[in-house]
Structure 1
Amino acid sequence: MFIAYAVTASLLALLLLASASGKLRRDEKMVASFTEIGVPLSWLPLLAACEIAGALGLVAGIWVGPLGVAAAVGVVLYFVGAVGAHLRKGDLKGTPPAAVVLVVSAAVLALGVAAL
């Protein structure tokens, strides 16, 4: 299970860093999506910081298992919020990508717990 956790956590960390980069650069598509669902643009740096922290925690979890599990819990909660925000506004374009990352995050959490 450890190898599965290490691989999936690393890939999820890369995805989180890419997403954080888009938020910090204020990518047009991201800004449009956040505006559409009513998230203030002033939250983008905080949301990016949460993703960066999650990515660092997942990678650190390769060496310190409980830290990886804690980071995975945080990432799952982050994406529960993301899916909820999209569903609240009826955003059918933005919900599936957030839901897919939520499922991947939950899988990484399960693998992290199994690897302890």
Structure 2
Amino acid sequence: MYIAAAILSVLLAVVTLGAGAPKALLKGDVPAMLQSHLGLSAGLVRFIGLAEIAAAVGLVVGLFWQPLGIAAALGFTVVMVGAVGFHAKAGDYADAKTRGNAMAPIILTVLSIATAVTLVLAM
């Protein structure tokens, strides 16, 4: 079970780091879209990016100390549930043009829960 936990942790860490870095730096299209379309402040976007980076670090360190990996996966789950809520509030799931981008938090929520579960089972 540890191999599955390690694969999921690394996969989620890479995706999380890739998603969090532009938000923390406020660079690129995603932070601008979050500010304009969802109405988030620059400070909140940066905070979300830093939380995602912290989750990525926690997932990697969690390969060696699993309680931290579990906490990081569950913390990232909370961030993604919040993202789903913001996308739902903005009506992104009803609009065919924005539905594709809004599905990422749902997929990442499932992936982070699966990572937490496998880390628990690998202990």
Report the TM-score, using the length of structure 1 for normalisation: 0.91
1: CA distance, partners of 2:35 / 2:105: 13
2: CA distance, partners of 1:38 / 1:29: 12
**4+ runs of 1 displaced by more than 3 Å?**
none
Q: Which residue of 1 aligns with 2:19?
A: 19
- 1:56-110 per-position Cα deviation (integer Å, ceiling 9, x unaligned): 1111111001111111110111101111111111113232111111111111111
Distance 1:52 1:29, change over 3 A: closer
Gaps of 5+ in 2: none
**How far does residue 13 in structure 1 lie from its aligned partner after superposition?**
0.4
**How far does residue 25 in structure 1 lie from its aligned partner after superposition?**
4.3
**How far does residue 11 in structure 1 lie from its aligned partner after superposition?**
0.9
Aligned: 1:43 with 2:44: yes
Segment drifting more, 3-12 vs 30-39: 30-39
2:106 equivalent among 99, 104, 107: 99
Distance 1:34 1:91, change over 3 A: farther
1: CA distance, partners of 2:26 / 2:111: 25
2: CA distance, partners of 1:86 / 1:76: 15
1: CA distance, partners of 2:69 / 2:84: 22
Q: 2:118 aligns to what SS in structure 1? A: helix
User: How many positions carry a matched residue from both structures?
Assistant: 116
2: CA distance, partners of 1:74 / 1:64: 16
Q: Residue type matched to 1:88 in 2? A: K
1: CA distance, partners of 2:86 / 2:18: 20
**How far does residue 44 in structure 1 lie from its aligned partner after superposition?**
2.1
Gaps of 5+ in 1: none
- 1:15-64 per-position Cα deviation (integer Å, ceiling 9, x unaligned): 11111122124212441244211211222221111011100111111100
Q: Which residue of 2 aligns with 1:10?
A: 10
Aligned: 1:113 with 2:123: no
CA RMSD of aligned residues (A): 1.3
